[in-house]
Amino acid sequence: MAVSLYNTATEYVASAITILRGTVADITNVGFYATTSLVTIPAVGDFTIVTLVDGTGGVVPPLGVRGEIDVLTLIGSGGDITTLTAGDYQVFILIQTASENIIRKIDTLTIL
């Protein structure tokens, strides 16, 4: 991901995920969490629930990419995440199913 955004911008950030077992239909929620701490591991309750976009089916949804499954987060004013100030962030993605909560540290985000 390694994304840089201006602090006055509102932009979508897509985080591609790969499903190793099960199907997209097994996913009940996805979430986004960002922290400036290098040692913080977020709890499930710390995540903001965001949008799952599945481009692997017959019809690709708006903002989807054919063949990809993305966690789509709108960052900035009026978006899913509105509290990030200038700085470097570690980004985590939550993938929830009926039986488990998967937390992945995926990359970094810089707010300029």
Predicted confidence pLDDT, tens digits, the chain (112 residues): 578 888 888 899 999 998 888 899 999 999 999 999 989 899 999 999 999 999 998 888 888 899 999 999 999 888 888 888 899 999 999 999 999 999 998 789 999 9
Contact 16, 67 (CB under 8 A): no
Helix (H, G, I), strand (E, B) or coil at 36: coil
Judging by DSSP bridges, how do beta strands 101-111 and 3-5 pair with one another? parallel
pLDDT value of residue 31 = 96
pLDDT value at position 70? 93
Domains (ranges, CATH) in the chain? 3-111 (2.60.40)
List, in order, residues 6 or more apart from 79 with CB less than 8 Å away.
10, 73
